[in-house]
Structure 1
Amino acid sequence: MSAQPHQLARRLGTADAVVVGLGSMIGAGVFVAFAPAARVAGSGLLLGLAVAAVVAYCNATSSARLAARYPASGGTYVYGRERLGPFWGYLAGWGFVVGKTASCAAMALTVVVYAAPGLGQPWRSLLAVLVVAALTGLNYRGVQRSARATAVLVTVSLLVLAAAVTAMVVAGDLSTQRLAPFPKTSPLGVLEAAGLLFFAFAGYARIATLGEEVRDPARTIPRAIPIALGIVLAVYAVLAVVLLLQLGPAALATTADPVAQAVAGTGWSGLVPAVRAGAALAALGALLALVLGVSRTVFAMARDGHLPRPLAAVHPRFAVPHRAELAVGVAVAILVSFADLRGTIGFSAFAVLTYYAIANASAWTLGGNRIVPAIGLAGCTLLAFSLPLSSVVTGAGVLVAGAAAYALRRRTHS
């Protein structure tokens, strides 16, 4: 089956789409976002998780409605363009590309940190570059191969997490006394934690960005998004509870590997190497799905002329946007040499919350029930500006730079 020069082939079913969403979220949330969220909210982490889940539900509902109407690659880049105008679509796409490219770098470094914890620079960056190159090569070979690989990684990760939870429940020392008031717990801390934890839920966007490669998208995407989000929410909620009961908010806030540390304190400490391996695989799955989604948004923006048009080429054999995939892979490989794992979380969250704010505003224009997109828009705005000041300033600066580039392009082409 061949695709047109600027058209992708529809090869993914509902199960494939769900797996892509799961792969994007599991690695990002469980092993990366919990510690910084606990640092600002303590035991209020659970409330922050609930707030993030409500906003994510609204965003998912709005995205599903829009994806059914506009089943094309690019996600909110397409929805904003069609419902609000070219600038808002461009701003959504720009925010997604820069925010998620930084997240790709963070996930690549996470793989290396868990797989080879004692490795120093420059070997850590070199190994991260090799990881990015391998996954870019896998994506290049076709979206179905990527989906199958993600399915394997997600399955292994979920099995390891299930074993970790079992170890804490059966052989651990769970105690509600560890949930004592945390010095930094406050309403603002909870909102900041919710903003950071939103980073962990944002992976379902990958399902929408694959709209041109999903069979029967009007039916498949609205089904896949809530399924993936529901599974991840259940996993996150269970893990958050047992981690707080096993470690306590103070210890959770200061450890870079909370799941492994929690298991190390149980009678089943022999599982720690498996947990570390599971963490590396989960981050690998998240990176695979992230590169997949970012390249599709780059493809859509290039097809419309907002990025270099050669990036809109589709491989004649594999039916994938191969030049966009290579460009994203190169950008991520460059970033891993200086990216900060925790610093990228806030920046990515701000950029993606902007992306979803535009998605909710776009869904508002569809009519019908406007309560969900209204809550989603308000929630995205509130959480975005509740993030650490450095994340807000950096994120806003990058969005302004993108808007300036858009204005310059419009002026030179008018």
Structure 2
Amino acid sequence: MNQPELARRLGTPDAVMIGLGSMIGAGVFAVFAPAAQAAGSWLLVGLVIAAVVAYANATSSAQLAAQYPRSGGTYVYGRERLGPWWGFLAGWGFVIGKTASCAAMALTFATYAVPEPWQRPSAIAAVVFLAAVNYRGVTRTAFLTRVIVVIVLVVLAVTVGLGLGAVAGGASSTAVPAQPVSGYGVLQSAGLLFFAFAGYARLATLGEEVREPARTIPRAIVVALSGAVVVYAVVGATVLAVLGPDRLATAVSPLSDMVRAGDHGWAVPVVAAGGALASLGALLALIAGLGRTTLAMARARDLPVALAAVHERFRVPHRAEIAVAAVVCGLLLVVDLRGAIGFSSFGVLVYYLVANLAAWTQDGGHRRYPRALQLVGMIGCGVLALTLPWQSVLAGTAVFAGGALLRAARLLIERRRRRPAA
């Protein structure tokens, strides 16, 4: 059954804001502590490595999105360039991993916003509200994302300004790390920081809703990633200068500690509000991206076909979005995924590995960037995957193996159904 396509309603500014909302999420408020724990004063070197790998992967996504401007991102690219199994692996890793990430991001929002007894109900309410926004159409998603991004950038600007004031006033720390820094630690910090940048994939999953996709998507991906890298570099350098690597590595809320270091305790609630809003922005983009990837997988029968429906009025994958929201709310009721989604990181790296492999096969007519960048992306994904804790690698491998078994069983059942009776 042919399903109607989604409506092309997003221009370049909308696409850039959605990309920024995906990347400037709660990570900028929290990721620097574990990154400093791994790399110490070499944190900014890890940031540079993460940015290089992210840029290589982003150019692959941009090049593929220009040729295949459809919902689904790397799931579609893998199927078109490498075969159905490659696409399935990318899509499965994205859907399963990012569903867990949605639950974790909702809990992160609630942690910033309300006391402990109200966190789970607030997290569920946030998912329902943002799913309702997405349901009303992609332009509503873009508008709310724009509002959130602007407010979060203002909060970050105020926070960095107060941090620089602390440096000028002599409140900065110059203590050296207690533990020697290793190359492995720098790479591990790069892996942590890379996942903060990985939100530009959301633009590729929205490929069916962007006007002039061959021009808009590549431009929006590069602009959004460049903007996010600048923000992370400025914030990271400032918080490292104020707190020093030792204090930063043990900070629960690094940006709050930074404003306290300059005797600006009044700004702590401002930072908390920024963290809550940033979490909502990332969650909004995650739900939208998951809905579109679920739509693409349902169209190809890798997920239930009923999820391929498109709303006649709002032109959104409404059943897919409802299903995603329901699963996330179910997870929020029974488990705490903030510390148990390592396989999501593993899945992201597999997702981009497939994207780079797919972009490597594109011919001159569709090639926008040299193959060397795809090679950098492939090597980068492999190296960063090796820096993940073994538990994350094991969990990620199990998730992919389970998905492969389910798909193999479905294909076997369909083959037997098509076999003529003896």
- What range is the shorter-chain TM-score in? over 0.9
> Could you report, residue by residue, the CA deviation over 1:274-300 in whole angstroms, capped at 9, with x for unpaired residues?
111011001110100110001100010
1:227 aligns with 2:228: no
1:104 aligns with 2:71: no
Q: Is the 8 A contact 1:168 1:174 kept in 2?
A: no
Q: Is the 8 A contact 2:177 2:246 kept in 1?
A: no
Cα distance in 2 for partners of 1:174, 1:6 equals: 59
Cα distance in 1 for partners of 2:270, 2:77 equals: 42
Q: Is the 8 A contact 1:33 1:199 kept in 2?
A: no
Picking from 74, 77, 80, the partner of 1:76 is 74
Cα distance in 1 for partners of 2:10, 2:255 equals: 33
Cα distance in 1 for partners of 2:319, 2:400 equals: 24
Cα distance in 1 for partners of 2:52, 2:325 equals: 33
Picking from 139, 148, 156, the partner of 1:144 is 139
Picking from 164, 186, 189, the partner of 1:190 is 186
TM-score by length of 2: 0.93
Moved more, 36-45 or 8-17: 36-45
SS in structure 1 opposite 2:388?
coil
SS in structure 2 opposite 1:248?
helix
Give how far 1:174 is off.
5.3
Q: Residue type matched to 2:70 in 1?
A: A
TM-aligned CA distance change 1:102 to 1:161, over 3 Å: same
Give how far 1:28 is off.
4.0
Give how far 1:50 is off.
1.1
Question: Paired residue for 1:276?
Answer: 272
TM-aligned CA distance change 1:28 to 1:410, over 3 Å: farther
Picking from 228, 233, 237, the partner of 1:237 is 233
Moved more, 256-265 or 168-177: 168-177
> Which of these two proteins has the greater Rg computed from alpha carbons?
2
Q: Is the 8 A contact 1:167 1:267 kept in 2?
A: no
Q: Is the 8 A contact 2:26 2:275 kept in 1?
A: no
Q: Residue type matched to 1:168 in 2?
A: G
Q: Residue type matched to 2:263 in 1?
A: G
Give how far 1:176 is off.
6.1
Cα distance in 1 for partners of 2:216, 2:154 equals: 26
Q: Residue type matched to 2:99 in 1?
A: T
Q: Is the 8 A contact 2:166 2:172 kept in 1?
A: no
Question: Paired residue for 1:67?
Answer: 65
Residues 103-142 of structure 1 correspond to what in structure 2 (within 5 A)?
A: 103-116=101-114, 118-120=115-117, 123-142=118-137
Give how far 1:54 is off.
0.6
Q: Residue type matched to 1:319 in 2?
A: R
Cα distance in 2 for partners of 1:411, 1:47 equals: 49
Question: Paired residue for 1:170?
Answer: 165
SS in structure 2 opposite 1:71?
coil
Cα distance in 2 for partners of 1:214, 1:294 equals: 17
Cα distance in 2 for partners of 1:335, 1:184 equals: 40
Q: Residue type matched to 1:181 in 2?
A: P
Q: Kindly, what percent of the aligned residue pairs are identical?
A: 56
Structure 2 unaligned spans of 5+ = 365-369, 416-422
Cα distance in 2 for partners of 1:135, 1:401 equals: 30
Moved more, 383-392 or 82-91: 383-392
Structure 1 unaligned spans of 5+ = none
Question: Paired residue for 2:409?
Answer: 408
Q: Residue type matched to 2:321 in 1?
A: E
SS in structure 1 opposite 2:44?
helix
Cα distance in 2 for partners of 1:372, 1:126 equals: 44
> Could you report, residue by residue, the CA deviation over 1:139-163 in whole angstroms, capped at 9, with x for unpaired residues?
1111100110000000000000000
- Deviating 4+ runs (over 6 angstroms): none
Residues 238-317 of structure 1 correspond to what in structure 2 (within 5 A)?
A: 238-317=234-313
Cα distance in 2 for partners of 1:210, 1:131 equals: 22
> Could you report, residue by residue, the CA deviation over 1:59-103 in whole angstroms, capped at 9, with x for unpaired residues?
000100000000000000000000000000010000111111111
Cα distance in 2 for partners of 1:21, 1:184 equals: 36
Moved more, 54-63 or 381-390: 381-390
SS in structure 2 opposite 1:41?
helix
Q: Residue type matched to 1:311 in 2?
A: L
SS in structure 2 opposite 1:185?
coil
Give how far 1:33 is off.
2.2
Give how far 1:171 is off.
3.5
Q: Is the 8 A contact 1:56 1:198 kept in 2?
A: yes
Q: Is the 8 A contact 2:166 2:242 kept in 1?
A: no
Q: Residue type matched to 1:394 in 2?
A: A
Question: Paired residue for 1:341?
Answer: 338
Q: Is the 8 A contact 1:171 1:268 kept in 2?
A: no
Cα distance in 2 for partners of 1:267, 1:254 equals: 20
Cα distance in 2 for partners of 1:329, 1:392 equals: 27
Give how far 1:367 is off.
3.9
The count of corresponding residues between Structure 1 and Structure 2 is 406
> Could you report, residue by residue, the CA deviation over 1:341-376 in whole angstroms, capped at 9, with x for unpaired residues?
2442x3322111110000000000014521010110
Cα distance in 1 for partners of 2:392, 2:311 equals: 37
Cα distance in 1 for partners of 2:178, 2:13 equals: 41
> Could you report, residue by residue, the CA deviation over 1:94-134 in whole angstroms, capped at 9, with x for unpaired residues?
01111111111111011111112x323xx311111111111
Give how far 1:409 is off.
1.6
Q: Is the 8 A contact 1:76 1:358 kept in 2?
A: yes
Q: Residue type matched to 2:392 in 1?
A: S
Cα distance in 1 for partners of 2:406, 2:386 equals: 24
